[in-house]
């Protein structure tokens, strides 16, 4: 057999095997991605709870608020990476609705709104001004609600 023919036969036999390996490993990666996204949002929710609970106190723990606000701001800065194609409901159980991928411009606007509000929350937290924290917290929370209504399914 000449070299070209051997290479063609080898490539023909190897391609399906490589495709099977890729398919077998892909779901694990998507599942890991979905879990990481879920974990990020739980951490984000926990941080919002810390801030909410503290601003209700007569003597809020400003250090706890600062720490939580940093988590919120960091999440806002990285959230776009949490939604690659193929990681939605078609890949398994997730709270991420298909609308994230079918209405990408709307979803990007919702993420941008959150990304614009979160630094203001962190700035307010760093200032120690409780009134400013309350205002920034409410404004940031509204951006979360706006996204949840369209792009997030109920807890599974």
What distance in Å separates the CA atoms of residue 144 and residue 133, rounded to the nearest whole number?
Answer: 16
Q: Which domains does the chain have, with CATH numbers?
A: 29-151 (1.20.120.10)
pLDDT at 8: 41
Instruction: Pick out the residues of the known binding site for heme c.
Output: 144, 147-148
pLDDT at 1: 54
Taking only the tens place, the pLDDT of each residue in 19-30 is: 433 444 444 588
The answer, as to whether pTM is greater than 0.85, is no
Q: What per-residue string of b and e applies to 68-81 under the rule 16 or more CB within 10 Å gives b?
A: bbbbbbbbbeebee
103 contact partners, CB below 8 Å, separation of at least 6: 150
Instruction: Assess whether pLDDT exceeds 90 at residue 7.
Output: no
Lowest-pLDDT range of 15-19, 54-58, 89-93: 15-19
Tokens for 39?
A: 């974990």
Instruction: Assess whether pLDDT exceeds 70 at residue 153.
Output: yes
Residue 96: φ, ψ to 5°: -75, 115
Taking only the tens place, the pLDDT of each residue in 97-147 is: 999 999 999 999 999 999 999 999 999 999 999 999 999 999 999 999 989
pLDDT at 17: 41
pLDDT at 25: 40
Taking only the tens place, the pLDDT of each residue in 65-78 is: 999 999 999 999 99
Instruction: Pick out the residues of the known binding site.
Output: 144, 147-148
């Amino acid at each position: 057999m000449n070299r070209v023919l051997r290479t063609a036969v080898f490539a023909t036999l190897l391609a399906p095997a490589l495709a099977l390996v890729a398919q077998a490993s892909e779901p694990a990666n998507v599942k890991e991605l979905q879990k990481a996204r879920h974990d990020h949002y739980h951490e984000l929710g926990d941080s919002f709870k810390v801030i909410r609970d503290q601003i209700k106190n007569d003597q809020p723990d400003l250090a706890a608020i600062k720490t939580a606000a940093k988590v919120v701001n960091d999440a806002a800065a990285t959230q776009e990476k949490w939604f690659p194609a193929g990681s939605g409901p078609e890949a398994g159980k997730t709270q991420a609705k298909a609308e994230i991928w079918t209405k990408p411009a709307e979803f990007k606007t919702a993420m941008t709104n959150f990304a614009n509000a979160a630094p203001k929350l962190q700035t307010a937290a760093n200032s120690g001004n409780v009134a400013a924290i309350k205002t920034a917290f409410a404004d940031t929370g509204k951006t979360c609600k706006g996204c949840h209504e369209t792009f997030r399914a109920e807890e599974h």
